[in-house]
Amino acid sequence: MRALLSRSPRARDLFDIRRDLDDVFNRFLNWRLPEEEQNRAEGFIPAVETRIDKDGKRFQCHISLPGVEPKDVNIQVQGNTLSISGERSSSRETKESDYIHREISYGSFQRTIELPDGVDADKVTAEYRNGMLEITAPISSAALPRKIEVKSLPAARGASA
């Protein structure tokens, strides 16, 4: 019985290799960097809100860019695509001992937004205020719904009612 319970060092090594391979495989499937490294790898991802105003005459886009200087923001329109890119940089030198926990991410960012039909891309404007970038553009009158009047014609002769 004793021979069945004890394992040779070689058999133990085989089981350790199998366990190590299982760990590597599981880590590969569930691969995640620690939160700080993940933020650094992803860079800064600003929140975006887009809408059409109540009258349906103006497109509005709000982008949260705290800590980003307006000079570090690049906005381009090509066709019906609006691209916003830039960089949020840290103004202080960071050392491992400067913080215990860090959730603020720095780095470059890029957001691409498809403009709704009818937006006049030649009249896009942008304003930066208190960490918020507001991009607006009018919607062309040709794209706005218009009411069509129904005309009443006189009844045809000989038609019975």
pLDDT in tens, 72-112: 899 999 988 999 999 887 655 555 566 666 666 677 888 99
Q: What is the pLDDT of residue 87?
A: 86
The answer to whether residue 145 scores a pLDDT higher than 60 is yes
pLDDT digits (tens, 9 = 90+) for 104-143: 667 788 899 998 888 888 899 999 999 999 999 998 877 6
pTM, 2 dp: 0.58
The residue behind tokens 């045809």 is 156
Q: What is the CA radius of gyration of the chain?
A: 31
Give yes or no for a contact between 143 and 118, defined as CB atoms under 8 angstroms apart: yes
Any residues with CB less than 8 A from the CB of 4 and at least 6 apart, and which? none
Q: What is the pLDDT of residue 146?
A: 76
Q: What is the pLDDT of residue 137?
A: 93
Q: What is the pLDDT of residue 106?
A: 73
Q: What is the pLDDT of residue 83?
A: 92
Cα 29 to its chain centre, rounded Å, is: 24
Q: What is the pLDDT of residue 37?
A: 45
Dihedral sign of CA atoms 142, 63, 113, 124 in order? positive
Q: What is the pLDDT of residue 1?
A: 46
Give yes or no for a contact between 109 and 88, defined as CB atoms under 8 angstroms apart: yes
- Domain ranges for the chain, please list them: 44-91+104-138
Q: In the CATH scheme, what is the code of domain 44-91+104-138?
A: 2.60.40.790
Q: What is the pLDDT of residue 40?
A: 44
Q: What is the DSSP code string of 104-134?
A: ---EEEEEEEEPPTTB-GGG-EEEEETTEEE
Tokens standing for residue 108: 């470059």
SS3 content of the chain, % helix, strand, coil (to 5): 25, 30, 45
Mean pLDDT within 136-154:
83
Give yes or no for a contact between 158 and 86, defined as CB atoms under 8 angstroms apart: no
Give yes or no for a contact between 115 and 121, defined as CB atoms under 8 angstroms apart: yes
More confident residue, 8 or 60: 60
